[in-house]
Every structure is written in C-alpha cells, then in structure tokens.
Amino acid sequence: MVEAAPVNDLLFGTLALTGADWFGLFLHFAMLSLLAIGGAITTVPDMHRFVVAERGWLDDATFSGSVALAQAAPGPNVLFVAVIGFNVGGLAGVAATLAGSLLPSTLLTYTVARWGEQRRDQRGVRAFTEGMAPVTIGLLLATSWILTEPTRTSAVGWLLFAATVVWMVRTKWSPLWPIAAGAVAGALGWV
C-alpha cells in the first residue's frame, strides 16, 4: 500500500525554500513572462538555467520530464510552468510560477493590444510585428536545443532534431508527426 504524501509536502514540496526563495521564483518567472516572445515555451532555456543550473532545485531529467509531460497533455501550452513549479515546491510552487508567468504578460498584452489596435495601420507598428518572427524562431530553436540535451549522444536523436527543424520550416503540416516520430524512437530505445 502506498502512503499518501504529507499535506505539508503537497503544499510546499520537499525542498526547504525560504521566503526569499519563493519571492525569487515568482520574480524570475515574472521577468521571463515579459521576455516570452512566441509563448512561454521560448523561455525554457532560462528556466532551466535558473531552477537546474543556478538553484539546483531540479535535475536535468526532472526538468525535461516536466516540460515533456505538460506538452503531451491536452490544454494550454503554459501548463509546463505549473509542472515545473510543482516539482520545485508543491502547490505553492505552482502558485509562484504561474502567477509570475501569467500576471505581467497578461497585463502587458492587454495594454499593448489596446494601444496597437488603435495604431495598427502605422508603419512602425507593422514593422515591429513582422520583425518579431525571426526572434520567435530563434527562441524556439534555443528551447529545442535545451529539450534535446538528453538525446544528443544519439545519432537518431540528431536526425530527429534536424528532420523536425526542416519539417517546421518547410511545411505547413501538423507538428504532431515529428512529435509522434520522437515518441516512437524513444519507446523503441533509439534515443
């Protein structure tokens, strides 16, 4: 029979975080939310740097598993932030990371959308909108680089990475096919 985790562990996780740690977690995710051009997934490299490399709250496998689990689940793309938060600090970690990720970007988006709608025909607004596409692509490539770290020693992993980049750049087909190919390769133990 499996014992239930103590309520305190569910609420605050198993790490002993201080008030400064909780506030730092919230502030870091708040800062990242303002840099998330193309969605929260583009900030995964810095989330990894903060919670794995700098703070040591998670290891590489737990971090990558958190992102992969949330991306495989139906629902909004930002679910991985909640899973990372839960793995760092239970439900309090979920609250810190989600509030940090959602509040600043939501308020900024609302304000800028209203401003941009009133000025959508101005040349500068159009140029800014079109100029963000290469930035978004670069951030997505950086995210894929971090998430493929566990499979970089495998030739099949490199092949899947390259094929997925070509697939996404050259076609308008669903990205579910390369994801399925990666799942099959992982299930067969090739990566």
Concatenated DSSP letters for the chain? -PPPPPHHHHHH-SS---HHHHHHHHHHHHHHHHH-TT-GGGGHHHHHIIIIIIS-SS-HHHHHHHHHHHHHSSS-TTHHHHHHHHHHHHHHHHHHHHHHHHHHHHHHHHHHHHHHHHTTTSHHHHHHHHHHHHHHHHHHHHHHHHHTGGGTT-HHHHHHHHHHHHHHHH--S-THHHHHHHHHHHHTT--
pLDDT of residue 158: 86
Rounded to the nearest integer, the mean pLDDT of the chain is 86
Q: Which of 83, 78, 93 is nearest to 33 (CA)?
A: 78
What's the mean pLDDT in 21-41? 90
pLDDT of residue 94: 93
Q: What percent of the chain has pLDDT over 70?
A: 93
pLDDT tens, residue by residue, 110-121: 998 899 888 888
- Residue 10 exposure: Cα atoms within 13 Å on the Cβ side: 5
pLDDT of residue 57: 94
Instruction: Return the DSSP state at 50.
Output: I
Query: 3-12, 32-41, 118-127, 128-137: lowest mean pLDDT where?
Result: 3-12
pLDDT confidence tier of residue 20, bands split at 50, 70 and 90: very high
User: What global pTM score does this model have?
Assistant: 0.61
Residues 37, 10: Cα–Cα separation, whole Å: 32
CA distances (Å), origin 144, targets 9, 44, 116, 138 = 32, 9, 31, 10
pLDDT tens, residue by residue, 153-171: 888 888 888 888 898 889 9
> Is residue 98 within 8 Å of residue 30, measured between CB atoms?
no
pLDDT of residue 12: 65
Q: What percent of the chain has pLDDT over 90?
A: 32
pLDDT of residue 25: 96
pLDDT of residue 21: 92
